[in-house]
Structure 1
Amino acid sequence: MATRALFHLRTGDATGWCTDYAVDVRHGQNQGSGNVKAELYVDGRQHAVCRLPAVFTVEGGTIEVAMSGFGLKRCHYVTDEGYEHQLTPDPASAEGHRATLARKHPTLSRVIGFFSAVALAIALALLVSQLAKKLTKPPEIARHVGEFSSPVHLSVWMNIAVVLVTLAASTERALRLRYSRLLDSGAG
């Protein structure tokens, strides 16, 4: 289940009939191709397949699915009245394991979430610093705005470590369906 995201929605009607909707997205698909697909299952049978971002029409509303570079950033049920809530991750999926950790150990979950956000903020600051140095290096630009000198100089190994920490932090945020354009779009 580490290679797929699987989320569920159970709805019931006035007669007591329950419908189980499941959204399945394979992580191994080429996200840059624009051909990443989500599959909708209704009561265990495949009902629809759609490219992401996807909107599936279901009883009482829609299911909206969108992906970031590291996993899903949205898998929500939006009612016809406009209310929305996230679908429940399957307990066997990576997202389900992360949700179980959050439920059983909420303090640890918040600490992990805090450190992943801080790691991405630091990586973003380092990236901006390195880009500013490269952009102001040409003499034509340096003559007008001056050459930026980064206060932080990282070795190749430190840059590799920053990339690995950034990947881990982005993946952790994707497992919780946390997405910020500022923090997560630069990383994915």
Structure 2
Amino acid sequence: MFQQWRRRRAVRRIEPGDGRLVQRFRWWQLLGRSLFHLDIADAAGYSVKYTVDARQWKTDENGYMKVFLYRNGLQHAVSRAPAVFPVEGGTIEVAASSFGLKRCHFVSNSGAERQLHPDAHSAEGRRAHLDERRPQLSRLIGVVSTVALLVGVGLLLQQIAVPILRIPPIAEQIGPVEPLINLPLWLSISLGLVAALASTERALRMRYRWWLDAAGN
């Protein structure tokens, strides 16, 4: 019920596009633009190409990322993330995190889902190409990203827990509490940067988990 309400609300946010042509992906847009494609058939059986264009620096007045939907190369609709665009046979759903997209899927009327395929020139497309050509290296990078974020989660939990355990009524019951790990400032900053890189890498594969990737925020 709640999911259906959210979907209806997202659909109401849709605005018509202005009909402009989709722009080619440029190399300098690697860190701030996501471009995904979907080929489906319309009611008459003709092929229709949809393109989702999301740019992190393009936001609305409330700071939400704007998502542009193109139909056969022409801007068809605009919404803010999370976005739900009705298309032939279902909807295209787009959701964003602080490091990119965490969801860009076609959901059919029967409930089946499939991820849109990334543009070959985008960062997501290059990451997918690496996964196809060098699967072992790709898995190693994925494991390193996960471990880096797990370390970040542990440090974040410590930062939250220690002040709570030092509250006088609690401290009187359990005694003085000291952090298990005291990191110098330079190392804390370095780990924060590593966690941000790890979250970015996972965003390129849309492997978002709130309890894990939040450590990179």
What is the TM-score of this pair, normalised by structure 2? Answer: 0.80
2:93 equivalent in structure 1: 64
- Does residue 1:27 correspond to 2:56, yes or no? yes
Letter in 2 for 1:99: A
Determine the C-alpha separation between the residues in 2 that align with 1:169 and 1:31.
27
Contact 2:198 2:216 in 1 (8 A): no
Letter in 2 for 1:137: R
Question: How many residues get paired?
Answer: 188
- Does residue 1:114 correspond to 2:143, yes or no? yes
Determine the C-alpha separation between the residues in 1 that align with 2:85 and 2:160.
40
Gaps of 5+ in 1: none
- Percent identity, aligned pairs only, is 49
Gaps of 5+ in 2: 1-28
Report deviation, 1:16: 5.5
Letter in 2 for 1:48: A
2:15 equivalent in structure 1: none
Two-structure CA RMSD over aligned residues (Å):
1.9
Q: Give runs of ≥4 in structure 1 deviating > 6 Å.
A: none
2:115 equivalent in structure 1: 86
1:164 equivalent in structure 2: 193
What is the TM-score of this pair, normalised by structure 1? Answer: 0.92
- What SS class does the counterpart of residue 51 from structure 2 fall into? strand
Per-residue CA deviations over 1:89-133 (Å, capped at 9, x if unaligned) read: 001111111111111111111110111011101110011112222
Letter in 1 for 2:105: H
- Does residue 1:76 correspond to 2:105, yes or no? yes
Report deviation, 1:143: 1.4
The partner residue of 2:212 within 180, 183, 188 is: 183
2:5 equivalent in structure 1: none
Determine the C-alpha separation between the residues in 1 that align with 2:183 and 2:73.
51
